Structure 1
Amino acid sequence: MLLKKSTDNKIYDYNERSVLFSTSTENKLYCIMENPGSNLEKSQDALVVPREEKSVFIYLFFYFVGLTILFPYSMLITINDFWNYKFRDTSIEYNSTNDELTELQKSFPGFLSISGNVPLTVLSIVTALFGNFFNIKTRLLVSAVLMGLAFGGTTVISGLNTDSWQNTAFILIMVINSCYSAINAVFQTSFLGNLGRFPPRYIGCTNDGMGLGATLPAIINIIIIATKPDRELVGLLCMIFGVLVIFVQLILYIFASRTEFYIHYAGINESVRNTIDYKSYVMVFKAIWIYILGML
């Protein structure tokens, strides 16, 4: 078995990412190089999980990122009553006996879905193909900042009195939502693609966070409505929560990306590839084509 010495006390597997155990008897790091036929005998004082993997901060960070991926957009589509109020017929009293919806009210959910899903799909494919040309940390930081700014733009519009320029507000929201979804596609494709390099528990907690990110907006909306604020404030308060979640996630990433554990697994210091490995994409497609077919 081929070993390489270093200056720590942990032992990594052959791909130098998954920590097998650490020993306290020697202040050395042994990195197991590729040797398919070898067996590793653990010492009596071996630890199954390294100290970094036990960090509550890192674990919660992954959970929060999963939440952030879905939380803002879920909040946007949850406050449907607010958008109906925003694009109401201003010539009559809101919630009057006239139940006829305006054209903007009828069109808003459909256009919001189209303006969000089309850029999301396109940019996810583009990022998967060409994202490797840029460092993972750069992609995540830049996209997180732009996500916050884009969602902040929608938040500003939601807080303004748009009764006299509803059509313009409608178009602006759709344009900004398209920008946000495109940026979000870059972020989530980069993060989730890189997530496969981490131990299984971090993959699991990220998925759990995404589940909460899809349901938490409805809970927050109910709580806000229960306080009986003005109709104009309901949407604004909910949207502000979305902006806060994005920027809290940005701050957490800045700290997490400086930890030895995240740098090692994420490959932040690895050189950027300037070529596209089409063989890898073909191999992945062959492995998942049945699942793609099932979604069609």
Structure 2
Amino acid sequence: MSHEEKYKSKETKNETVCEIKDEKLELESPPDRFHLTYILFFFLGLVHFLPWSFFTTATEFWMYKFRNISINETNSEHRTYLQAEFNASINITLQITEVAFLILGVLFGHLIRVRVRLIGIFSIIFALFVILCVFVEIDTDSWQEEFFGLVMVITAGINSMNAVFTITIYTVLANFPQTYLAPYLTGGAISGITTSSLQILTLASGLSVLDSALLYFSLGVGVIGFTLIFIIFTTSQSKFYLYHMRNYVDGSKEKRVTFKEGFRLLKIIWSPIAAMGFLFVSLDASPTALVVSEGEGQGPWYDTYFIPVITYWLAGVCNLIGRNIAFTFDLNLNNVGWVVLAAVRMVIFVPLFIFSNAQPRHHLPVLLPHDYQYIIFVIFSNISGSYIMGRTYFTIKKLVTQDELKDAYHVNMVMIGLQMGVFSCISMITVNLL
């Protein structure tokens, strides 16, 4: 039997085993009344990516906070060093804390019960968002660099909790039927749409930059607070949730994956990890946060709405489309095929975004200056990227048995975190190459 035939045979066997176990669990378990657990996973996916989305989409606020106060301008012609470096610094901060706390989560997360972890994580994120809201109205013009550092500290705190949550959520998901992965991934895709929609609405409210930012971040506090209450209620009252998590509520501790077992799983799931690596490289190397409209200075659409609508809202919609396609359509590629597809996508889209109208730039020319060109790139880049990302999670479930799934998810998350840390400098390099 050839290697490919063995792989297909194993894949078919594992799929059959998982389907039988899922079907048996569904028959024995109580019903998910009012779909509470299903909705919970949606909100967990939504809030998992929500803090990052809030930070990246509040472009007008950050440009105002780090503007050149001597001329009081925020347009791309007068961008300061802090304005230009903000998104790259945010990415580096996110990725370094991601690596550190993913590893800590795997090594020590099992010492804390899942429910306690969930409540603790979102309580800390909620508190940090409240602190951010307080600083919106504080005048930081005389200490911009210090405020820049404070924002990075808040970002690190929020993302460290998100990293631990990443380990926790896949510990939880591994105990539920495969259909419960879909609401989590959908929630993650909708987070970008939610935050960009809120940003557009606050900008359209006619409020000042600071007042609209306060309203914007306050809405984030509300969403996180609601999710925290929903977690507390569902994890204690839903019989369906308690049934599937029964091994974690009786006082037992999670079994930690050993290095030997982790390395064995890594050799099995290497292809989804490699594909995700190419996706992160393309994300870090694409200076989309610096792209401005070709009509800048000619009206509200070009100056105020172009970035939140195109770079964030449209991108979020395309991410959602791509993930929903991933739920229903499989290209049936082998291990190497998915890696090659992700690599080809990176080679195509990174140069397109680099030569779009990203500002400021001092070295490379703008070869693709038109808004319609950038819009096309955003559409196809985000649909293809989210499709590949969605399929990687389903591929992992195909490659391992149900008993190995939780540990495989943990190995996947740690390797993704390591890749993000290694590639974190790419965004800074791209900004300085422009």
Distance 1:110 1:275 in 2: 34
TM-score w.r.t. length of structure 1: 0.78
Residue number in structure 2 paired with 1:210: 188
**1:122 aligns to what?**
100
2:26 and 2:255 map into 1 onto residues whose CA distance is: 32
Q: Deviations over 1:216-264 (max 9, x none)?
A: 1111111111111111112222111222221111100001111222122
Between Structure 1 and Structure 2, which shows a larger proportion of helix residues?
Answer: 2
Q: Which amino acid aligns with 1:233?
A: D
Cα pair 1:74 1:217 within 8 Å, conserved: yes
Pairs within 5 Å for 1:38-117: 51-94=30-73, 99-117=77-95
User: How far apart, CA to CA, are the structure 2 residues paired with 1:180 and 1:262?
Assistant: 26
The one-letter amino acid of 1:101's match is: R
1:272 corresponds to which residue?
253
One-letter identity of the residue aligned with 2:57: T
Residue 274 of structure 1, CA deviation? 6.9
| 3-state SS of 2:253 partner | coil
**1:1-296 equivalent positions in 2, closer than 5 A:** 18-21=24-27, 51-94=30-73, 99-258=77-236, 259-266=238-245, 267-270=247-250, 271-273=252-254, 276-294=257-275, 295-296=277-278
Instruction: Give a deviation string over 1:111-167, Cα, whole Å, max 9, x none.
Output: 111111210122112212332222111111111111111222222222322112212
Q: Tell me by how many angstroms 1:279 deviates.
A: 4.6
CA distance in 2: counterparts of 1:51 and 1:137, whole angstroms: 20
1:148 and 1:18 mapped to 2: Cα distance?
38
Q: Contact conserved, 1:157 with 1:169, CA < 8 A, in 2? A: no
Secondary structure (helix, strand or coil) at the match of 2:141 reads coil
Using the TM superposition, give the Cα deviation of residue 82 of structure 1 relative to its aligned residue in structure 2, in angstroms: 1.3
- CA–CA distance in structure 2, aligned partners of residues 217 and 17 of structure 1: 37
CA contact (8 A) 1:130 1:276 kept: no
Measure the CA separation in 2 of the matches of 1:199 and 1:153: 38
Distance 1:210 1:77 in 2: 15
Call closer, same or farther: CA 1:285–1:168 in 2, change over 3 Å. Answer: same
With 50-59 and 184-193 compared, the bigger mean Cα shift is at 50-59
- CA deviations on 1:45-104 (whole Å, 9 max, x unpaired) are xxxxx55225322221211111000112101110112111111111223358x9221121
Q: Match of 1:157, SS?
A: helix
Cα distance change, pair 275–59 in 1 and its aligned pair in 2 (3 A): closer
TM-score by length of 2: 0.55
**Larger deviation: 55-64 or 170-179?**
55-64
Task: Provide closer, same or farther for how the CA distance between residues 264 and 174 of structure 1 changes in structure 2, counting only shifts above 3 A.
Answer: same
**Residues 253 and 289 (structure 1), Cα distance of their counterparts in 2 relative to 1, 3 Å cut:** same
Report what 1:31 is aligned to: none
CA distance in 2, matches of 1:222, 1:274: 45
SS at match of 2:248: coil
Q: 1:275 to 1:103 in 2, by over 3 A?
A: closer
Identify the residue that residue 5 of structure 1 maps to in structure 2: none
Determine the C-alpha separation between the residues in 1 that align with 2:216 and 2:92.
22
> Is 2:30–2:243's contact at 8 Å kept on the other side of the alignment?
no
Comparing 127-136 and 275-284, the one that deviates more: 275-284
CA RMSD of aligned residues (A): 2.4
Shift of residue 185, structure 1, vs aligned partner:
0.8
Q: Answer with 250-259 or 283-292: which moved more.
A: 283-292
Separation (CA, whole Å) in 2 of partners of 1:18 and 1:265: 12
The structure with the larger Rg is 1
Q: Structure 1's 116 and 215: CA in aligned 2 closer, same or farther, altered over 3 A?
A: same
Mapped partners of 1:201, 1:14: distance in 2: 14
Q: In the comparison of the two structures, how many residue pairs are matched?
A: 256
Corresponding position of 2:378: none
Task: Give the counterpart letter for 2:89 in structure 1.
Answer: F
Greater CA deviation, 170-179 or 232-241?
Answer: 232-241
Aligned partner of residue 269 in structure 2, secondary structure: helix
8 Å CA contact 1:71–1:217 kept in 2: the answer is yes
Q: Would you say the 8 A contact 1:133–1:274 is kept in 2?
A: no
| 2-structure distance, mates of 1:268, 1:18 | 20
Gaps of 5+ in 1: 1-12, 23-49
1:128–1:189 Cα contact (<8 Å) kept: yes
Contact 2:60 2:209 in 1 (8 A): no
Go from structure 1 to structure 2 and tell me whether the alpha carbon gap of 1:182 and 1:95 turns closer, same or farther (over 3 Å shift): closer
* Partners of 1:72 and 1:243 within 8 A in 2: no
Counterpart contact for 2:45–2:188, Cα < 8 Å: yes
